[in-house]
Amino acid sequence: MILRFRLDATEEQVEELVQRLEGAGCRTRRSPEPGRAIVALLDRPPAALAAELARHPLVEEVVAPKGDLRLVHRSFHEQPTVVRAGGLEIGGPGVVVIAGPCSVEGRDFMDEVAGHCARAGAHMLRGGAYKPRTSPYSFQGFGVEGLAQLKDAGERHGLPVVSEIMDGAHLPAFLDHDVDCLQIGARNMQNFTLLKAVAAAGRPVLLKRGLAGTVEEWLYSAEYLCAFGCPQVILCERGIRTYEPATRNTLDLTILPLLRELTHLPVIVDPAHAVGVARFIPPLARAAVAAGADGITVEVHPRPEEARSDGPQALLPGELAGLVADLRVLAAVGGRGLAD
Residue-wise pLDDT tens digits, 79-121: 999 999 999 999 999 999 999 999 999 999 999 999 999 999 9
pLDDT (mean) for 18-37: 93
**At residue 80, what is the residue type?**
P
pLDDT (mean) for 194-222: 97
204: number of Cβ within 10 Å: 22
Contacts of 190 (CB under 8 A, 6+ apart): 210, 213, 217, 221
**122 and 211 assigned to the same domain:** yes
**97 and 205 assigned to the same domain:** yes
Confidence of residue 137 (pLDDT cuts 50, 70, 90): confident
What phi and psi values does residue 85 have, to the nearest 5 degrees?
A: -130, 110
Q: Cα angle at 264 between 216 and 170, to 5 degrees?
A: 70
**46 and 160 assigned to the same domain:** no
Q: Is residue 72 part of a domain?
A: no
Q: Is residue 60 part of a domain?
A: yes
Q: Is residue 268 part of a domain?
A: yes
Contacts of 253 (CB under 8 A, 6+ apart): 237, 269, 287, 288, 291
Chain Cα centroid distance, residue 301: 23
Question: Shortest CA distance to 129 belongs to which of 94, 159, 173?
Answer: 173
What count of residues does the chain have? Answer: 340
- Which range marks the domain in which residue 133 is found? 83-333
**Alpha helices, H only, 230-306:** 255-262, 271-275, 281-290
**56 and 96 assigned to the same domain:** no
**93 and 229 assigned to the same domain:** yes
**59 and 93 assigned to the same domain:** no
DSSP string, 116-178: HHHHHT-SEEE-BSS---SSTTS----THHHHHHHHHHHHHTT--EEEE---GGGHHHHHHTT
pLDDT (mean) for 310-331: 96
pLDDT (mean) for 19-41: 93
Enclosing H/E stretch for 298: strand 295-299
What is the structure's pLDDT at 232?
Answer: 97
What is the structure's pLDDT at 66?
Answer: 85
pLDDT tens-digit profile of 42-85? 999 999 999 999 999 999 999 999 889 999 999 999 999 999 99
Model confidence at 140: pLDDT above 90: no
**166 and 293 assigned to the same domain:** yes
What is the structure's pLDDT at 136?
Answer: 87
Number of domains in the chain: 2
- Strand ranges (DSSP E) for 225-281? 233-237, 267-269
62-71, 192-201, 203-212, 258-267: range with lowest mean pLDDT:
62-71
DSSP 109: H
* CB burial readout 221-244, b (16+ within 10 A) else e: bbbbbbbeebbbbbbbbbbbeeee
**182 and 211 assigned to the same domain:** yes
Q: Is residue 151 part of a domain?
A: yes
Model confidence at 145: pLDDT above 90: yes
Indicate which CATH number applies to the domain containing 97. Answer: 3.20.20.70
**193 and 305 assigned to the same domain:** yes
Strand partners, 299: 100
pLDDT (mean) for 117-141: 91
| Mean residue pLDDT across the chain | 95
**37 and 173 assigned to the same domain:** no
pLDDT (mean) for 296-310: 94
What phi and psi values does residue 17 have, to the nearest 5 degrees?
A: -70, -40
What is the structure's pLDDT at 134?
Answer: 84
